[in-house]
Chain A
Amino acid sequence: MMTILKTMIVTSLRDKITLFYSIIFPIGLLIGLGYYFNNDAYTPKLLTGVIALSSLFWGVSGIAFQVHGQRSRGVYQLLKLTPFPVIGFIFLMTAARTILGIVINLVVLFTGTLFFNVAINLGQVLALLGMMFIGILCFTCLGFLISNFAHNEGQISIISNLLFMPMIFGTDTFYSLHSAPGWVVKMGELFPLGYYVHGLRSALGTSNMSFTGSVMILVIFTFVLLLLSAVTFNQEGKGQIRLKKVMRNPDHVA
């Protein structure tokens, strides 16, 4: 088990593109925007927004590409021949990515406290850790789901971007939605990112929304996404083909 977990951590750490989007890009964004706005009231919001963005990229894109790569190379098919259960492997891969995701988030958090003097006590750090755990898990499940429907890497990018847009622009991750049209706000509420951001801010004491409420909503999102991922999971990446077949032949549905 430990060998598999360690190897999964190693393979995730060698994914340079995802690491760039999860560490370098968020830290660059944090420092750039932080110095540009130079506003003590906005800094904690920016910090939590950047942590959320890092979690989103790490959780969704990272796992989606990783699962797609393994599936298209027939890894899951061969895994079926070993005594090790595929579900056990997926669990370990998710665990490895969640652990790494939390470490990455802590690096972003540390950068924020270092550059912008954001004061955080131990209780807040523990609350943030809990929120990071459930948030990354939730986004990882979403990444799994995307990989089940995408037929190739291009489709993973398209589907991810289609989901990222309403999540980033329909929530107050980086800016207030006070003047935004109602439908934009409603659209953002359909996705987990906004609740995650509010959970992180509650942990830091900068949001009116309840910490427990955010956790509960994210747990529900995680459960639903996990269920959908499990139902649509296939070893050979033919989820989309199957959908097309069903659509072409309505008798299948009946």
Chain B
Amino acid sequence: MPDILIQAKGLKKQYDSRNVVNGVSITVHEKEILAIIGPNGAGKSTTIEMMLGIRKQDEGEVGYWVHDYRKSIGAQLQATPFFPGLTAIENLNLFAAFYKRKLPKQKAVELLTLCGLSEVVKTEASKLSGGQQKRLAIAVALVHDPKVVFLDEPTSALDPKSRREIHQLILDLNRKGTTVVFTSHDMDEVTKLSYRVIMIDQGMVIAEGTVKALCQKHGVQNLEELYLQLTMGEN
């Protein structure tokens, strides 16, 4: 088993007396692609934000493989964070500066090209399409060559071509040794990309394992059937 990079134990979070995350434990292993799936409002994003340390949990703890983990983790959150008034490449340079890195122009262009933004390098970020902004957010997440990257619904609202490009990007990153944790509602995408799946519903982990093992265990043909069985069965 590869080394453990992140270990979240018993995470709990309440909003307005509502348990959004209710005792979630997740382990992220080195060089894996881990998919976190579940219905809308299941607590996936909140769990990720707590694992990233940008939202404080009410209970539980998160352990990292290094003390200053922030230098080695990248994240694309559901919001598309960029600075209005700056171009795509200027945004990238600014975020590199936050990591105390100077991004050579060639590397910045390469990164934007990798994310399918080669034609909009000098376009103001606020004028990019929704899909392009999402890809810029992914480029921002990769600006410091992180060891682990979290992608929160990286392909939602993207056209099939862009989606395929992001899939390839995730696979390429992983091939180079980057650990990827992503959330998605697309079960085909999860089946295609992930080594391991964690299914969350109502703030709790309801299934965990490889797609094949989970399907065998529950006697279903594919991940979508399993998802419907487990999430609808509870309602």
Contacts and interface: CB of A to CB of B under 8 A. Distances in A.
B81 A77 contact: yes
B68 A83 contact: yes
Contact of B98 (A12, A66, A83): A83
* Chain A interface residue bracket vs B: 20 to 34
B86 A11 contact: yes
A90 to B, nearest CB: 13
Indicate the member of A14, A73, A84, A89 with the most B CB atoms within 10 Å. A73
Nearest to A74: B79
Interface in A186-217: none
A79 interface: yes
B82 A73 contact: yes
B100 A78 contact: no
A73 B80 contact: yes
Contact of A78 (B71, B81, B90, B97): B81
A1 B96 CA distance: 11
Contact of B77 (A1, A4, A15, A77): A77
B83 A75 contact: yes
Contacts of A73: 79-82, 84
B98 A4 contact: yes
A7 B94 contact: yes
B97 A80 contact: no
A10 interface: yes
A240 interface: no
Contact of B52 (A1, A69, A81): A81
A79 B140 CA distance: 11
A70 B94 CA distance: 13
Interface string A58-91: 0000000010011001110111111110000100
A83 B100 contact: yes
Contacts of B71: 83
Contacts of A66: 84
A15 B84 CA distance: 9
A179 interface: no
A74 B81 contact: yes
A121 interface: no
A14 B99 CA distance: 25
Interface in B96-124: 96-100, 102
B45 to A, nearest CB: 11
A10 B86 contact: yes
Interface in A13-40: 14-15
Interface in B68-93: 68, 70-71, 73-75, 77, 79-86, 90, 93
Listed from nearest, the 6 A-B pairs whose CB atoms lie closest are: A74-B79, A14-B85, A82-B98, A3-B97, A84-B98, A11-B85
Given A7-B86, A78-B77, A83-B70, 9 more contacts: A3-B94, A3-B102, A69-B84, A74-B80, A77-B49, A78-B140, A80-B54, A81-B74, A84-B99
5 contacts: A7-B86, A11-B86, A70-B84, A82-B95, A83-B68
